Chain A
């Protein structure tokens, strides 16, 4: 008995170690990332700028202040939060819908947000009156990305919902939105098209301090809620009937989780564009290392997602003259990494 207990302890310790390792990695890369970019800086400069800003003292060099404090620090913070949010969103979606192909965008959030952006950029329509420019894009994206999930909630009041049905409804709505967006894109001139296209790929280079606060509130509250529900998700994995026998209102849990994930994802996507890949693959990589127990899977996904997106962002900043979008870089690094991990581990988590 004692040895079995010991074995379990060791397993748990390994999982915690994985999570802690990636958290530390995130912190290290975050500090390192403040030095990455075209404008050369040294660690002492970075330290100076951050120290002065935290103490409320003026910084000696205005250029340092601008590049480090106003551009790189918010970018790193948003990269961490975005990676964590998308990855955890994917983990929860995969668990709740019991489908390894689900990710944060399965509910049609990305196409909804993209629709909002295209009507703002091409047709010049703002859903909230009296808002213009970049702000209109953000608001449009946020509001439109929540339409699919609202529709699913509406339908679920009348009809019985199975995971398959939810997925199929999400896909149908996604196709309607992307049809409209495509139609609009066909009427656009090639310059606007390039802009809209860039948004779709997702980039972190547009973020400002103002965005950090909003994203922070959504992401923290969302992750705390999802983490508090981790026991329910474990039971959901066992199947709907099983979970119901254990006293869980599966319909309610599914729908509230979907809503929370959608809200968090929408908040992130409106500012960064649809950064793909990490939401799907992040949780799978975490699952290969820590298993499917949500208590470990959620923080592990968050830690891995944050570290991964941060690294991808650093690479994207030094690649080429204008820098490739972070979505592109994450797929380019992530795909080979994922295949290598699958080959090495011969994982059977879903089979």
Chain B
């Protein structure tokens, strides 16, 4: 009897280990794929060969001084013209996917995405107000003025939600509904501003809304990178708690989690994270919603793995979209969000219809 039990035990342990190995190897594979895609995107963007580009980037990072003028130009071209948008695509993809997976687990709703609480519409309102009405902070003009306004606007819905949370029950569905209502409100304000603006300002605002990474520079990167890095570490630390949240509020409470406070903290974190990304890139949809779903289809719903793998998946998706728009289309004129939906949505559709129900989490 005892021996039987022990062999079962060993089987179970081995199975579990095998599962873990599978998930870890998925994460590692994704990382490799991401690096290859990033270099490939740079290579296609510049017209150099794949390994040549790889060497150029590696040399720059290692601090190797370019030997002659041609090398200096190559270095400059790769480093200044192409790499910023690729890096931005990776950071934005990772950050939005992180936001999406946290939001979905926290709200227990497959329809949730990083914008569910109205962040995108708030940012949009800030940016549109800045573009069409010329509103800005006194010291910041032009491009940075729009970024600052978008950032502040993005935090307004979260702030409203925090203020309201004392007066309402903070169940996921109420929060989602309030978030959606707030986003409708800000969308209405955007429309109002657009209606009173002239047609050209409307076009500018429309283009800002779609979201793009093609016109970003190195100076835009540090803030995004810092926030996403800190945010992802914090979320990784609490990923066990996110798993508890997915079982529903009551179960999570039984397990000793202060559900309401934890949810509000996550909301604040995600709001800052997403705000710092989209104020530079504009509203990039889709990736935050589907990257976590695709990850769950492949490795199941454990947030310890969904969070990092989802971030990699998001980065891969956005990087791939960047790559595709470099190969196929007029780069810079077709926004990355459009390319991504074009390629990503059919793939996602296929995955949804094919998915086995045992990997289905919601």
Residues of A that sit less than 8 Å from B by CB: 99-102, 155, 158-160, 162, 164-165, 167-169, 171-173, 175-176, 178-180, 182-183, 185-186, 190-191, 193-194, 197, 201, 276-277, 280-281, 284, 322, 324-325, 327-329, 331-332, 334-336, 338-339, 342-343, 346-348, 350-351
Contact = CB atoms under 8 A, between A and B. Distances in A.
Given A155-B353, A197-B194, A351-B169, A99 B286 contact: no
B238 interface: no
17 contacts: A101-B112, A101-B116, A158-B353, A179-B340, A179-B341, A179-B342, A182-B335, A186-B333, A194-B202, A324-B192, A331-B187, A332-B185, A332-B188, A335-B185, A339-B164, A342-B168, A350-B171
B352 interface: yes
Interface string B320-334: 000000000000011
Given A179-B345, A201-B191, 16 more contacts: A100-B109, A101-B116, A101-B180, A165-B353, A172-B352, A175-B285, A182-B210, A190-B199, A193-B206, A194-B199, A197-B202, A280-B180, A332-B189, A334-B184, A336-B185, A351-B174
A281 to B, nearest CB: 6
Interface string B180-209: 111011011101101100011011001100
Scoring B164, B191, B207, B355 by chain A CB atoms within 10 A of each residue's CB, the highest score goes to B191
A281 B357 contact: no
Contacts of B180: 101, 280
Closest 8 CB pairs of A and B: A179-B341, A351-B171, A331-B188, A335-B185, A350-B173, A190-B199, A175-B341, A331-B184
A193 B210 CA distance: 14
Interface residues of B, number: 61
A165 B352 contact: yes
B285 A169 contact: no
B178 A339 contact: yes
Contacts of A276: 184, 187
Interface in B86-121: 109-112, 116
Nearest to A321: B196
A153 B146 CA distance: 44
A121 to B, nearest CB: 14
A342 B178 contact: yes
A168 B293 contact: yes
A168 B352 contact: yes
B289 interface: yes
A110 to B, nearest CB: 13
A324 B194 CA distance: 11
Given A169-B349, A348-B169, A164 B202 contact: no
A185 B337 CA distance: 14
Contacts of A324: 191-192, 195
A339 B194 CA distance: 25
Contact of A173 (B199, B345, B357, B362): B345
Given A183-B334, A334-B181, A346 B168 contact: yes
A341 to B, nearest CB: 10
A95 B20 CA distance: 38
B176 interface: yes
A342 B341 contact: no
B344 interface: yes
Given A176-B342, A325-B191, A350-B174, A277 B184 contact: yes
B160 to A, nearest CB: 9
B199 A281 contact: no
B360 interface: yes
Given A348-B169, A348-B171, A173 B349 contact: yes
Q: Secondary structure at chain A's binding surface: helix, strand, loop or mixed?
A: helix
Contacts of A179: 337-342, 345
Nearest to B191: A328
B177 interface: yes
Contacts of B173: 100, 350-351
A162 B356 CA distance: 12
Contact of B341 (A102, A168, A176): A176
A335 B344 CA distance: 33
Nearest to A194: B199
B335 A331 contact: no
A164 B176 contact: no
Scoring A168, A172, A186, A322 by chain B CB atoms within 10 A of each residue's CB, the highest score goes to A172
Contacts of A190: 199-200, 202-203
B279 to A, nearest CB: 20
A348 B177 CA distance: 12
B26 interface: no
Contact of B345 (A172, A185, A347): A172
Contacts of A100: 109, 173, 176-177
B306 to A, nearest CB: 16
A99 B174 contact: no
A339 B195 CA distance: 26
A201 B199 CA distance: 16
Nearest to B110: A164
Scoring A183, A284, A334, A348 by chain B CB atoms within 10 A of each residue's CB, the highest score goes to A183
Scoring B116, B176, B286, B352 by chain A CB atoms within 10 A of each residue's CB, the highest score goes to B352
A176 B164 CA distance: 36
B174 A168 contact: no
Contacts of A168: 110, 293, 348, 352
B169 to A, nearest CB: 5
Given A101-B176, A338-B181, A343 B171 contact: no
Interface string B251-286: 000000000000000000000000000000000011
Nearest to A195: B199
B195 to A, nearest CB: 6
Nearest to A202: B191
Scoring A171, A178, A183, A351 by chain B CB atoms within 10 A of each residue's CB, the highest score goes to A171
A160 B352 CA distance: 11
B130 to A, nearest CB: 19
A328 B188 contact: yes
B222 interface: no
B346 interface: yes
A351 B248 CA distance: 10
Given A173-B345, A175-B285, A328 B110 contact: no
A324 B192 CA distance: 7
Nearest to B354: A159
Given A175-B285, A324-B192, A350-B173, A191 B199 contact: yes
